[in-house]
Structure 1
Amino acid sequence: MPFINVKQLSGRTDEQNAEISRELTATYARVTGVKPENIWVAIEEIPAKNWSAGGVTFAAKAELAAKAGEQGA
């Protein structure tokens, strides 16, 4: 039984997550021939304060971008 685990930043709607799940399932089924009902998808939403790249959290990056936008206005 295939298991697809998606990790993403928080903020998508329930409808978006449902569409992600449907599309991943459909694509995996089409490519592999596995029945859709046998494909599991888990979507984990991680707060921006708990996810980083280059040692900087995405929350901090958003804050810096907002400040830069304020200064450019």
Structure 2
Amino acid sequence: MPYVTVKMLEGRTEEQKKALVEKVTDAVTETTGASKEAVVVFIEEMSKNHYAVAGKRLSDN
């Protein structure tokens, strides 16, 4: 059973997340041969104050 975790900044719409899950599931089934029912996708959303690049939080910009 493949498990996929997608970590991204919050702010995407429900429609965008639905499309993401569908496409990730399709990619996993096509490349691994696993059935769609066996693919588990986790979306972990982070706020901009919990994400930093080059020593600066994105919320500080």
Give the TM interval when normalised to the shorter protein. over 0.9
Structure 1 unpaired stretches of 5+ = 62-73
Looking at secondary structure, tell me which structure has more helix per residue: 1
TM-score calculated relative to the size of structure 1 = 0.80
Q: Which runs of 4+ in 1 moved over 3 A?
A: none
Structure 2 unpaired stretches of 5+ = none
> In 2, Cα distance between the equivalents of 1:44 and 1:22?
16
CA radius of gyration, larger in: 1
Q: Which has the higher contact order (CA 8 A, sep 6+)?
A: 2
Three-state SS of the structure 1 residue aligned to 2:15 is helix
Is 2:15 the counterpart of 1:15? yes
> In 2, Cα distance between the equivalents of 1:6 and 1:35?
19
Three-state SS of the structure 1 residue aligned to 2:20 is helix
Residue 55 of structure 1, CA deviation? 0.9
Aligned residues: 61
Partner of 2:34: 34
TM-score calculated relative to the size of structure 2 = 0.95
Partner of 2:51: 51
Residue 35 of structure 1, CA deviation? 0.2
RMSD, aligned α-carbons: 0.7
Looking at secondary structure, tell me which structure has more strand per residue: 2
